[in-house]
Amino acid sequence: MNFKVVKSFINSVKEKALGEKVIKGVNPGEQFVKIVHDELASIMGSENSKLDYNPNGPTVVLVVGLNGQGKTTFSGKLSLFLRQKEKKEALLVPADTFRPAAKDQLKTLAKNMGIDCFDSDLSKHPKEIATDAIAFAKERNIDVIIIDTAGRLHVDEELMGQIKEVRESLNNYSPEVLMVADAMTGQEAVNVAKSFHETVNLTGVVLSKMDSDARGGAALSIKQVTGIPIKFISTGEKMKDLELFHPDRLAGRILDMGDVLSLVEKAEEAIDQDEAEKMMKRLEKGQFTVEDFMKQMDMMKNLGSMGSIMKMIPGMGGMLREVGDLSPAEDEMKKMRVIIDSMTKQERQNYKLIKESRMERIAIGSGNKLKDIKDFLNKFRQMEKMMGGMMQMMKGGGLGNMMGGGGGMPDLGAMGGMPGLPGGKKKKKGKKKGPWGGGYF
């Protein structure tokens, strides 16, 4: 982080915290965390800054930045975001005259998403490509034109002069000029943003790779140092992994307070409500099948990686750091999915049909050992029992029913519990068991 930003932040928090009257009934520690949270959000811009659409014609978005920061991928993500969230059609325009492969990459992304891609003549100057693309978009009444430019070093005067020409040629359209920066570069991203802003007058910044362990140092500094708002954050490799930047939500993630609002928004998009209601009705009748479990796994997969989901749940950040790498657990989930795919529909709806001979067939079909199939079925029985207990409790049966009737904690170890939780196995050096104790449920 920028030293001046840190100093200013500490002084602001100190000024607001010292002498602050403790609110009756509120824990002083929680009150202080609220002051820190609000100040973090204020540094990052206080509120979300959306794209500014041009009311007098097509909206032009010029995407700029250094090499390898994710500009082409962001251009594709933004086109999908505009279609799904803003109900606007975009035209992707390759204008990287130095890396011809960028055009092929953008065309492939556009084809996979069913979005228009302009067939740019890369022998022309980028500003001519932009002019041609705008004329093409006007003929077809396309709402937004996204121009993917070449990566360039902010210290390269010739290349910075070229992008300045492109920017000036678009002045009549009041373009959005977005710089894509890798969140993991931290403070250097701030210096780059300053240089680009001086040359092309940026209207916003996009932070890529925000799903990494980087806690947002660049996000905390950019707005305060440059005055440029952060408009989007990229949270994964998939085309749908693009979010509007909400300063208050990132402040919550930084302080391990979670981000329930973003989680709810993701859930609303990813989860089929009708299917979820049917599943609940089956659970109320004491029915939980392998088919239900498979659908739950698919819904979870649509929400994102396990790590990204856990970061959004308040208080789970500490557990996530303790557990460490979640990729073995995700690999185990994929393995279970293959086992389920090797079952017949009847077996998925009634796993009790699966005897030894059927287990052997499933093992061969899924490329696993017989022991793996037995382990999966044992764990599924545990889950079935637990789900039944949860439904009993929700109906008013009390906590004791969920705990198996005796009021004690369920055997999380038998379900591959988390390290540090009752029943969870601690990681041992030299053993290739996942951080979930080998169970992964």
Residue 163 belongs to a domain with what CATH number?
Answer: 3.40.50.300
Worst-scoring range by mean pLDDT, 194-208, 358-372, 410-424?
410-424
Tell me the three state secondary structure of residue 179: strand
pLDDT for 391 equals 67
Q: Is residue 418 part of a domain?
A: no
Q: Is 439 exposed, middle or buried (0-12, 13-18, 19+ CB in 10 A)?
A: buried
Q: How far apart are CA 141 and CA 161, in angstroms?
A: 31
Cα–chain center distance at 65: 21
Query: Looking at the structure, do residues 313 and 220 belong to the same domain, yes or no?
Result: no
pLDDT band at 320 (very low <50, low <70, confident <90, very high): low
Q: What is the CATH number of the domain that holds 388?
A: 1.10.260.30
pLDDT band at 422 (very low <50, low <70, confident <90, very high): very low
Angle ∠(87,93,98) on CA atoms, nearest 5:
150
Strands 144-149 and 59-64: parallel
Query: Looking at the structure, do residues 139 and 25 belong to the same domain, yes or no?
Result: no
Expressed as residue numbers, the domain containing 136 is 59-255
Query: Looking at the structure, do residues 91 and 239 belong to the same domain, yes or no?
Result: yes
Q: Is residue 145 part of a domain?
A: yes
Angle ∠(55,56,62) on CA atoms, nearest 5:
80
pLDDT band at 361 (very low <50, low <70, confident <90, very high): very high
Per-residue pLDDT at 6 exceeds 80: yes
More confident residue, 432 or 36: 36
Query: Looking at the structure, do residues 152 and 186 belong to the same domain, yes or no?
Result: yes
pLDDT for 429 equals 42
Mean pLDDT within 41-53: 82
Give pLDDT tens digits for 141-163: 999 999 999 888 877 788 888 88
pLDDT for 427 equals 43
Q: How far apart are CA 184 and CA 208, in angstroms?
A: 8
Question: Which residue from 43, 3, 36 is spatially nearest to 255, judged by alpha carbons?
Answer: 36
Q: How far apart are CA 12 and CA 6, in angstroms?
A: 10
Question: Which residue from 87, 77, 81, 72 is spatially nearest to 143, judged by alpha carbons?
Answer: 87
pLDDT band at 215 (very low <50, low <70, confident <90, very high): low
Per-residue pLDDT at 346 exceeds 60: yes
Q: Is residue 421 part of a domain?
A: no
Query: Looking at the structure, do residues 8 and 75 belong to the same domain, yes or no?
Result: no
Query: Which residue in this structure is represented by tokens 């204008």?
Result: 95
300 φ/ψ sector (left φ>0, alpha ψ -120 to 50, else beta): alpha
pLDDT for 408 equals 40
pLDDT band at 101 (very low <50, low <70, confident <90, very high): confident
pLDDT for 16 equals 87
Q: Is residue 432 part of a domain?
A: no
**What total number of domains does the chain contain?**
3
pLDDT for 98 equals 84
Query: Looking at the structure, do residues 324 and 291 belong to the same domain, yes or no?
Result: yes
Q: Is residue 353 part of a domain?
A: yes
Query: Looking at the structure, do residues 184 and 63 belong to the same domain, yes or no?
Result: yes
> What average pLDDT does the structure give for the chain?
79
Query: Looking at the structure, do residues 147 and 30 belong to the same domain, yes or no?
Result: no
pLDDT band at 216 (very low <50, low <70, confident <90, very high): low
More confident residue, 338 or 326: 338
Percentage of residues of the chain with pLDDT beyond 90? 27
More confident residue, 407 or 185: 185
Q: How far apart are CA 373 and CA 359, in angstroms?
A: 6
Cβ-contact 247, 45 below 8 angstroms: yes
Query: Looking at the structure, do residues 121 and 203 belong to the same domain, yes or no?
Result: yes
Per-residue pLDDT at 328 exceeds 70: yes
Mean pLDDT within 284-311: 78
pLDDT for 297 equals 82
pLDDT for 73 equals 92
Cα–chain center distance at 180: 16
Q: How far apart are CA 182 and CA 189, in angstroms?
A: 7
234 forms beta bridges with 242
Query: Looking at the structure, do residues 67 and 212 belong to the same domain, yes or no?
Result: yes
pLDDT band at 393 (very low <50, low <70, confident <90, very high): low
Worst-scoring range by mean pLDDT, 59-68, 70-79, 138-147, 410-419?
410-419
Give pLDDT tens digits for 120-138: 998 999 999 999 999 999 9
pLDDT for 304 equals 72
pLDDT for 367 equals 92
Give pLDDT tens digits for 238-278: 888 888 888 888 888 777 776 666 777 777 777 777 777 77
Query: Looking at the structure, do residues 83 and 196 belong to the same domain, yes or no?
Result: yes
Q: Is residue 163 part of a domain?
A: yes
Q: Is residue 337 part of a domain?
A: yes
Query: Looking at the structure, do residues 28 and 82 belong to the same domain, yes or no?
Result: no
Q: Is residue 351 part of a domain?
A: yes
Q: DSSP characters for 274-324?
A: HHHHHHHHHHHTT---HHHHHHHHHHHHHH--HHHHHHTSTTHHHHHHHH-
Most confident of 47-51, 111-115, 222-226: 111-115
